[in-house]
Structure 1
Amino acid sequence: MPDTDPGNSRSDDRDFIQSIERGFAVLHAFDDRDPNPSLAEIAAKTRLSRPAVRRILLTLQKLGYVTGEGSRWSLTPRVLSIGNHYTSSHALVDAALPKLVEIADYTHESASLGVLDGSDVVYAARVPVRRIMSINVSVGTRVPAYATSMGRALLAWAPRETVDAVVATTEFDKLTAATIGSADELEAELERVRELGYALATAELEDGLISLSAPVFDASSAVVGVLACSTSTARHSAESFRDLAAKCLVDCADRLSDELGRRR
């Protein structure tokens, strides 16, 4: 959640528009745990005053992004257009989609494109297969970087300051018994990922979930995303899934990086 403290150093930046920050803070108050919050609940989440939240909600309502019923508010489908503008204008997504189809066809498992946003990974594109998984994943879904193969493949080649920023804002909650629980464990995992060229995570985000991810680089050799593939322990062991998918995943990520102009 954005920091709404008026004493924040950003208030000294003449180019920083605090009202926009507050508008996005209100939009982020709607989530899967509380899709229909009240004005008071939004104020508590955002640490904004109730009059300020009321003005923002009424503005968003006039723009068509929220709707109110009684004391409760909800997002409208129009908010999806924001994400759609990203996918339709971002070359990475367009270039990645054929590779995701190739991975899904080869492995018969879901394939995804992930990008780093703060301490989370956001699904930017996805080619699903008809499987029943307990985790509900779609474009726009956010998952913690520290507990996922996608996050580790992104962080393993990220600048040091990016890794430090993620570590500083991560609480390292134990999502399952296998989830890593400290910055030192994460650093060891990142070193292992760099050695292998891909990341493998087993039952760390949720029990029974195995995922593989490989990094994608742009023309400046900066990591800009990851290609990922996931399965269930009911269908594969970590070893059999690695044998099945790792080479295909790394090859697709390498070819995508070449298409984006990476110089080897």
Structure 2
Amino acid sequence: MEPKYRVPAIEKANLVLNLIAREPAQLRLIDITRSLEFSKSTVHSLLGTLEYLGWIVKDKGDTYSLGPSLGALSAAYFRQFNILQSFYLEAAKSVNRINENIQLGILDGGNVVYLAKEEGNSPVRLVTDPGMNFPAYAAAIGKIQLSQYNYPQLEKLYPERQLEGKTPYTVKDIDELWTQLESARRKGYICETQEGSLGFFCVAAPIYNRENRLIAGVSFTMLENSWNVKKDEACEEIINLAQRLSIQAGYINPLVSN
């Protein structure tokens, strides 16, 4: 829902912060100005204010990175959620069983934001790390959370209807995505094969809270050779992990309650 009152300066600062977060220690004032198509004076003022507040720091070469104040805010944000502590405890058990990488993420509009990961002994180097975001429609951990929406909500989330491809296998439009989400709702999990990154295969399941609200997702990520061997076991284990985390978040399955 669009806010009734908006502050353009804050929205511009948010765009600057997100740009720096994607490319830390890479962008100078002129690079940010060109990328966002703001005036040089506007970007200069925003950078000066953000640096004064400690939200960004200027590095050697006059490039910018996120600052300590944002780190403190992030830590305070994460402390609100016992789900993170539960994730690290429970995900370690699942990694021991499957020996592949597990991630925890939440939705932010049309993107999934990665909150945490537990790594196995797999040589896989994930393309996403905690704090990063990624198009939800191109990741199993995002799709499983999109499954909570009805079709009109999905249209509002992706009004252009066509979806930008991350690989040749990425879902093309919201009709195709809707079909995938209907299947995910029936099965309670979703698989994704090379839609987010070539060579990577994922399976994700949803986490619910005490209000029966979908609040996050967890996923296994692995290479094709492991996927061919571990797919069924990984699907079963990721569902089990999501259920354990849901219980710890206060969820009571109405199908098994008295």
Q: Could you tell me the TM-score, scaled by structure 1's length?
A: 0.84
Asked whether the 8 Å contact 1:218–1:257 carries over to 2, the reply is yes
Secondary structure of the residue that 2:51 maps to in structure 1? helix
Change (3 A) 1:62 1:169: farther
Aligned pairs (5 A) from 1:52-91: 52-68=42-58, 72-78=62-68, 79-91=70-82
State the Cα distance separating 1:25 from its structure 2 match. Answer: 1.9
CA distance in 2, matches of 1:256, 1:134: 25
**Identity score, percent:** 21
Asked whether the 8 Å contact 1:175–1:204 carries over to 2, the reply is yes
Secondary structure of the residue that 1:236 maps to in structure 2? helix
State the Cα distance separating 1:243 from its structure 2 match. Answer: 1.2
Q: Determine whether 1:172 maps to 2:163.
A: yes
Greater CA deviation, 189-198 or 25-34?
Answer: 25-34
Aligned to 1:4: none
Aligned to 1:228: 219
Asked whether the 8 Å contact 1:114–1:225 carries over to 2, the reply is yes
State the Cα distance separating 1:194 from its structure 2 match. Answer: 1.2
Aligned pairs (5 A) from 1:123-134: 123-133=114-124
Count of residue correspondences = 251
CA distance in 1, matches of 2:211, 2:199: 37
In structure 2, runs of 5+ residues without a counterpart are 254-258
Change (3 A) 1:81 1:44: same
Equivalent in 12, 17, 32 of residue 7 of structure 2:
17
CA distance in 1, matches of 2:153, 2:91: 26
Aligned to 2:200: 209
- What is the Cα-based RMSD across aligned positions, in Å? 2.4
State the Cα distance separating 1:69 from its structure 2 match. Answer: 5.6
Secondary structure of the residue that 1:103 maps to in structure 2? helix
Aligned pairs (5 A) from 1:66-145: 66-68=56-58, 72-78=62-68, 79-133=70-124, 135-145=126-136
CA distance in 2, matches of 1:32, 1:132: 24
Alpha-carbon deviations, 1:209-258, whole Å to 9, x = none? Answer: 11110001112211100111111113231xx4331111221122112212
Aligned to 1:5: none
Asked whether the 8 Å contact 2:154–2:174 carries over to 1, the reply is no
Change (3 A) 1:113 1:167: same
Secondary structure of the residue that 1:36 maps to in structure 2? coil
Change (3 A) 1:116 1:162: farther
CA distance in 1, matches of 2:249, 2:200: 30
Asked whether the 8 Å contact 2:155–2:174 carries over to 1, the reply is no
Structure 2 letter corresponding to 1:132 = P
Structure 2 letter corresponding to 1:252 = L
CA distance in 2, matches of 1:180, 1:21: 30
Q: Determine whether 1:263 maps to 2:252.
A: yes
Poorly superposed stretches of 4+, deviation over 6 Å: none
In structure 1, runs of 5+ residues without a counterpart are 1-8
Change (3 A) 1:144 1:161: same
Q: Determine whether 1:46 maps to 2:45.
A: no
